[in-house]
Structure 1
């Protein structure tokens, strides 16, 4: 079966790709074209069912990145590599153009600098680094001003919209050359991402539903769960049921499940846990482990990589139950903190808006008791992984609260 890929690009790029479609094995392309890369965001909403999305460059991808994160399929973009830059520079020199008289906008000027240094040339073009969400008018002005001030005789742009504007302004301009090999490689990588995503989604997922009730739960009370997961529930023991589905179905359900839909599942309090694994035994064990960590009326997913996802439906956090980073291994070893608690502290650090915080802040985020949060902080302070940097008094009576700051890497 062919892999269906949506291509978001300029008209010129679409024409270029169509000339090499026959070289793309088992791939069908759908084209969605723009005049300005900023239109890429709107084009996401026009995409018909497909297996992946491919962008013609980094700029349209960055404009549409937030929308892409909402998609259930993988996205990829054509990276501007050394081949594209070297090919373009070679074409210029073959035409007799002096590189010192060239202005060029590229995503990574260091690549161009490295290529030119490797060939021991003393000629370097004027370069503009394309940042995410850059204003196209700034790039146009960069090329136009250099040409008007007679510092350049040739502009090279990576953006078709800039090309069109400079042409209207009578600035000599060419487009960055995207080699056939780079385009084929980029689209083939997108196909591989689509295949990988499908294979991951099809992997087994084992679920457990545990009802917290003294009375016997009847089969007819499980109708909402059966409808939601589209599978039969099997009673394991009193008020404990298991189900078998796929990782893809679990991900899709929790991605779109609202709190209102969640509350409608059962009038009786329950816990829901899923386990992923490379085989049914591993998935089952992970589901059992996740169930032990699940609180009333919430759900957790434990992956084969020992990542605890949840609690659903309200939060979509990822807690690492296995520590592999050497720095974090040392922190866990020194403080005797579990990988789960250490991962929660790191998650808190990333989401907390200030560098300083109180035990109350940590308690609120972790949804634990004050005693637990203070015990975690004491272990970190005792081993110099956190420090007390002040106090705050937000009330008239009682002891002031200590203000803390973490003292180990949290962006790993």
Structure 2
């Protein structure tokens, strides 16, 4: 099945990405061009018929996903501008530029990337002037301001503090060239492009596979007033609305009784029906017209029987929302999402790990959150992290991550082990270690 990848990139860089299509038989690239990375916020909203978003770097990724609902709907990847990239560029300057590396003005997403590259080359960077924009990767620190960055490099050159600029931003490079300032646009390693395209293909395959899972939905009518019988007109109206939804999403609708219906489809059709699990399908004004509410349960599974069992669990949770129409969804992994809305909550029905169950019981937190904390540490080389690291992994605000940490620290499942001073500005950040 064809994987559709939207490539958000500067125009001159697009061919380096799309050239990798020949290595994948099932991938199709569509390019969306920006000149300034700050344009990506609007650009992403124009993208249609896409399985994965691929950004040319961390800056377009940041601006393209920071406010967009596309971040939740589609997997997104970007080509990194990391220590490997900087190591390559410092070597290139050392071998090919007469200015050398003694007086360099450089910008980078994170100061630490440059420090690691300098250590690799064992260079003297005392004469360098560095500007980072760490807010896009850390959620705090120095914000990205392209005009300020251009001014920074220009002043360094005009005052004789630097004789060469190394920039990681295409827009900055173009502006500096117009000013006849010696400038290098950071070279992106082919390896980084190739690995990012492969990652995009993997996410696309995974998403298509998930979308093909069997899905079952159950819809039931509930009387708001005790003693009232089920009104036939309410059943007829609900059936018609479900049939209309079925036509839009290629799902099949069957009536189980006067007040209950079953929906057969795929995960993809239910995602479309619920706007990617962010809202209950529109049920009109059934409460006002007939004095009834609608409860819906959706379930995914590898078999129809499993999916239907999960749908019944979802319907059970929906019916507990007394006097309100609501919908819950249960995934193949027994993850419950609901009530479906922009602020849906998620929890796991079961866990076979007794240690995780003990932590969840003691802290009053969900097994899903505890499981994610455990997976977070397994993915890292060392058991130390900040609230910002955790917020980025869990896709929470920093404040929410700090609330999670506070609960865990209170029960000594997470312990503070030190502080980290952010580059240039900001208060020291606490460093933690998981203790379970």
1:80 maps to 81
Q: 1:109 aligns with which of 99, 111, 116?
A: 111
Q: Select between 160-169 and 285-294 the one with higher mean Cα deviation.
A: 285-294
SS at 1:8's partner residue?
strand
8 Å CA contact retained: 1:102, 1:126: yes
Q: CA deviation at 1:173?
A: 0.2
Select the residue among 151, 166, 169 that pairs with 2:179: 169
Aligned mates of 1:203, 1:108 — CA distance in 2:
40
Q: Deviations over 1:84-109 (max 9, x none)?
A: 22221110110254323112212233
User: Which string of whole-angstrom CA distances, capped at 9 and with x for unpartnered residues, describes residues 322-348 of structure 1?
Assistant: 46999974454347x5848999xxxxx
CA spacing shift, 1:122–1:28, aligned 2, 3 Å: same
2:230 alignment partner, one of 195, 215, 233:
215
Q: Secondary structure at the match of 1:79?
A: coil
Matched, 1:188 2:198: yes
In structure 2, relative to structure 1, the CA distance for the partners of 1:339 and 1:106 (3 Å cut) is: closer
Cα distance in 2 for partners of 1:211, 1:198 equals: 33
The answer to whether the Cα contact below 8 Å between 1:54 and 1:75 also exists between their aligned partners in 2 is yes
1:89 paired with 2:90, answer: yes
Asked if 1:240 is matched to 2:264, the reply is no
CA spacing shift, 1:211–1:352, aligned 2, 3 Å: farther
Which of 280, 289, 303 is equivalent to 2:304? 280
TM-score by length of 2: 0.70
Which residue matches 1:8?
8
C-alpha distance after superposition, 1:103-131 (max 9, x if no partner): 22122332332233234333464332223
In terms of mean alpha carbon deviation, does 88-97 or 54-63 score higher? Answer: 88-97
The 2-side partners of 1:81 and 1:342 are apart by: 29
1:308 aligns with 2:336: yes
Shift of 1:320: 4.1
The more displaced of 283-292 and 53-62 is 283-292
Assess if the C-alpha contact under 8 Å between 1:3 and 1:28 holds in 2: yes
Cα deviation code 1:215-248 (max 9, x no counterpart): 3758644121122234443445673332222222
Q: Which SS does the other structure have where 2:30 is aligned?
A: strand
**Residue 59 of structure 1: how far off its partner (Å):** 0.7
Q: Identify the range of structure 1 (64-73 vs 302-311) with the bigger mean alpha-carbon deviation.
A: 64-73
> 1:128-277 alignment to 2 at 5 Å?
128-131=131-134, 132=136, 134-213=144-223, 214-215=229-230, 220-221=236-237, 222-230=239-247, 231-236=251-256, 239-255=259-275, 261-264=282-285, 267=290, 268-277=292-301
Point out where structure 2 has 5 or more consecutive residues left out of the alignment: 137-142, 224-228, 371-395, 412-432
Deviation at 1:199, TM superposition (A): 1.5
Name the CA distance, whole Å, in 2 between partners of 1:173 and 1:351: 37
Whole-angstrom CA distance in 2 between matches of 1:2 and 1:303 = 25
- Verify the 8 A CA contact 2:86 2:114 in the aligned structure 1: yes
The SS at the match of 1:269 is: strand
TM-score (norm 1): 0.73
* Inter-partner Cα distance in structure 2 for 1:15 and 1:144: 30
Q: How big is the shift at 1:140?
A: 1.3
Q: Do the aligned partners of residues 117 and 70 (structure 1) sit closer, same or farther apart at CA in structure 2, a change above 3 Å counting?
A: closer
Give the whole-Å Cα distance in 2 for the aligned partners of 1:351 and 1:135. Answer: 22
In 1, the alpha carbon distance for the partners of 2:210 and 2:400 equals 37
Aligned Cα root-mean-square deviation (Å): 4.0
8 Å contact kept, 1:290–1:302: yes
Q: Using the alignment, how far apart are the partners of 2:154 and 2:257 within structure 1? A: 75
Give secondary structure in 2 for the equivalent of 1:255.
coil
Q: Which runs of 5+ in 1 are unaligned?
A: 344-349, 358-379, 386-408
- What is the alpha-carbon distance in structure 1 between the residues aligned to residue 353 and residue 124 of structure 2? 43
Partner of 1:62: 62
Superimposed CA distance per residue, residues 271-314 of structure 1 (whole angstroms, 9 cap, x where no aligned partner): 11111223333322222222222124111112233332221357
- The CA distance in 2 between the partners of 1:225 and 1:84, in whole Å, is 53
Q: 1:260 to 1:305 in 2, by over 3 A?
A: closer
1:292 and 2:295 correspond: no
Q: Is the Cα–Cα contact under 8 Å of residues 323 and 339 in structure 1 kept in the other structure?
A: no
CA separation in 2, counterparts of 1:353 and 1:210? Answer: 39
Counterparts in 2 of 1:329 and 1:16: CA distance versus 1, 3 Å: same
- C-alpha contact (below 8 Å) 2:83/2:114 kept by paired residues: yes
